[in-house]
Amino acid sequence: MTAPDLPAAAPPAGGSVPAWIRKRGGAIVIAIALLLLWEVGVRLLGIKEYLLPPPSRIWLEFAKRSGTVMGGAWVTTQEILGGYVLAVLVSIPFALAVTYSRFMENAVYPVVVFLQIVPKIAIAPLFIIWFGFGYTPKLLIVFLLSFFPIVVSSIAGFKAVDPEIMDFARTTGAGGWKLFARIRLPQALPDIFTGMKVGAALSATAAIVAEFVASDRGLGYLLLQYNGNLDTPMVFAVIFLLSFIGLAVYYTVEFIERITIPWHVSQTNAGQAPL
Amino acid sequence: MPQGAAAGEAAAAGAASPAAPPAHIEIDDLCQTFRRAGMVTQALDGVDLLVAPSELVVVVGPSGCGKSTLLRIAAGLLPFTSGRVRIGGRDVTGPQTELGIVFQSPVLLDWRNVLENVLIQVELRGMDPRRYRERAERLLADVGLGDFQDRRPRELSGGMRQRVAIVRALIHDPPLLMMDEPFGALDALTREQMRIDLEKLWLAQRHTLIFVTHGIAEAVALADRVVVMTPRPGRIERIIPIDLPRPRDKAAVTSARFTEYVDEITECFMRYGVIRY
Ligand SMILES: Nc1ncnc2c1ncn2[C@@H]1O[C@H](COP(=O)(O)OP(=O)(O)OP(=O)(O)O)[C@@H](O)[C@H]1O
Ligand SMILES: [Mg+2]
């Protein structure tokens, strides 16, 4: 298709690699600059290592003990992924049920909303009592924390169909399944992904807190150990690693979003482009 | 095809005469009252209207007088307070499907490109979209969107979106078309062209067409009969048969007769204080 009146049209959907660098390049430069400033600043001011080690020292310590730390990272990653995937698998059908069933909406959903008020972290010790020290309580806490944002925004998405679009659809006589597949689901996807990204961001936090409460492995466990020994470089190494895991989960979801709903992603990017 | 019964200079059209030819749409003493959060709005008050098969009826009226409400009720999209509405002799109790409808806003699907937005109509009807592809492409080309089939709605202007919505309403060749200010978002030039094209299309296909507009000249240029509505609560002030030759070319829309019709409707609105000079 040619479009003679829009010669300078931006590349459709997605966005190429150079565009990505142009968009994130600034952030990368700033991150590197901050690390440099940190390194130089700590050395010039002679700040003690147990208070704030320079990045180079953190890296060296991490390299030395990477076996232990990466082992812990793998444990934590499993907790995050397990809990998060479970949350996605449960929350979206649940949101559907609330959208389509009066009973679920009137009776079950309010209870869920109320439960959401309960500080879920406070439940963590209970889970230890019930499920012990292993994988299960961590998985459940990750599940619990990421479940709610996904449910809430999925419900909002399923319910937010433009009434006029529904009016149009009703004049076609299409049945419930078709309306769902062709209209309700696609238009809810942006909201579902928003919830999934919030859930993803929470999942790493949830795993660490769960490990703080009681565990004998994982990054949260290691973090407490290193902290107890005033091994600050390793504390920082763990924090960095955790952040990377969180980012990886988040960007995986964003990547899936990009290929699932390019129409929405490209539209929001187009809005940002001129800035 | 002006029908004999309901017309004339007399005030509102008389009650449906039983001798009239079988009407495509029969609206009988239709009243609509909205109650919302303690607020009561009477939108329609005793509307009577017969639309014959293949007739082109244009409804004009001030903003908020209930034109959209009338269309939505006729399409079975809105339950009404009292009265009777029939399409093809059957009472309207739920959404009507033997029609194509254009809403006041384009209501396109963001995730589909222009061609897919047109074809959703046949997909939802359980028909094979591949068999309608060619027709969709032709209709899109007819409304000047031939080069935009692959674009998403967000990449189109408001007028272009509305044209997509019009094509979507036509794709399945329905016997009845309802259009709620379909040209509202168009510039004056495109609007005139669309009006000409719509008449051409209607002359070729002869579907029944109910068309809502604010534009008095547009109404006269298009209509077999113009239905003039009063300010809210909407009643039919009068129904004016337009006796101008078709197609309504430049000569027709600049003729003295044309101007007289426009003046007659304008004076109606002046009397109701809708237009003040
Ligand atoms: N769903 C609704 N709930 C409450 N009031 C409504 C509703 N729909 C319409 N109304 C009221 O009914 C009246 C008629 O509305 P309608 O949309 O039919 O007007 P209209 O003639 O199409 O106006 P316009 O030319 O501006 O589109 C308005 O006063 C409006 O406030
Ligand atoms: Mg309206």
When pLDDT is cut at 50, 70 and 90, the band that residue A266 belongs to is: low
Flag whether A23 is in a domain: yes
Residues, CB within 5 angstroms of ligand 2 (ion): B 68, 104
CB A57 within 8 A of CB A233: yes
Residue B130's domain comprises: 106-173
Check residue B21 and give its pLDDT.
62
Measure the CA–CA gap between A60 and A39, rounded to whole angstroms: 13
The mean pLDDT of B31-36, rounded to a whole number, is 92
When pLDDT is cut at 50, 70 and 90, the band that residue A269 belongs to is: low
Residues B209 and B270 in one domain: yes
pLDDT tens for residues A123-162? Answer: 888 888 898 888 999 999 999 999 999 999 999 999 888 8
The mean pLDDT of A33-51, rounded to a whole number, is 92
Subunit contact B150:A186, Cβ cutoff 8 A: no
When pLDDT is cut at 50, 70 and 90, the band that residue B36 belongs to is: confident
| pLDDT at residue A13 tops 70 | no
Q: In chain A, positions 242-261, which contact chain B (CB-CB < 8 Å)?
A: 261
Subunit contact B126:A174, Cβ cutoff 8 A: yes
Chain A residues in contact with B95 by the CB 8 A cut-off are 167, 170-171, 173
Residues A188 and A65 in one domain: yes
| pLDDT at residue B11 tops 60 | no
- Cβ(B68) to ligand 1 under 6 A? yes
pLDDT tens for residues B178-224? Answer: 999 998 878 888 888 889 989 988 998 899 999 999 899 999 999 99
Number of folded domains that form chain B:
2
Check residue A16 and give its pLDDT.
65
CATH number at residue A135: 1.10.3720.10
Other beta carbons less than 10 A from residue B10's beta carbon: 10
CA distances from B236 to A228, B22, B48, B117 (A): 84, 21, 7, 35
Of the listed ranges A41-50, A109-118, B78-87, B93-102, the least confidently predicted one is A109-118
Residue A162 structure tokens: 């433009």
User: How large is the ipTM?
Assistant: 0.85
Residues A142 and A224 in one domain: yes
Check residue A213 and give its pLDDT.
87
The mean pLDDT of A184-210, rounded to a whole number, is 92
Cα angle value B59/B69/B5 (rounded, 5°): 45
Residues B83 and B210 in one domain: yes
Residues B126 and B202 in one domain: no
- How many CA atoms does the CB half-sphere of A41 hold within 13 Å? 9
Residues B260 and B131 in one domain: no
Check residue B18 and give its pLDDT.
52
When pLDDT is cut at 50, 70 and 90, the band that residue A268 belongs to is: low
| pLDDT at residue A76 tops 70 | yes
When pLDDT is cut at 50, 70 and 90, the band that residue A262 belongs to is: confident
pTM: 0.80
Please classify residue A21 by burial: count the beta carbons closer than 10 Å to its beta carbon, then call 0-12 exposed, 13-18 middle and 19+ buried.
exposed
CB A224 within 8 A of CB A212: yes
Residue A65's domain comprises: 57-268
When pLDDT is cut at 50, 70 and 90, the band that residue B76 belongs to is: very high
- Cβ(B213) to ligand 1 under 6 A? no
Number of folded domains that form chain A:
2
Q: Which of A216, A240, A225 is nearest to A62 (CA)?
A: A240
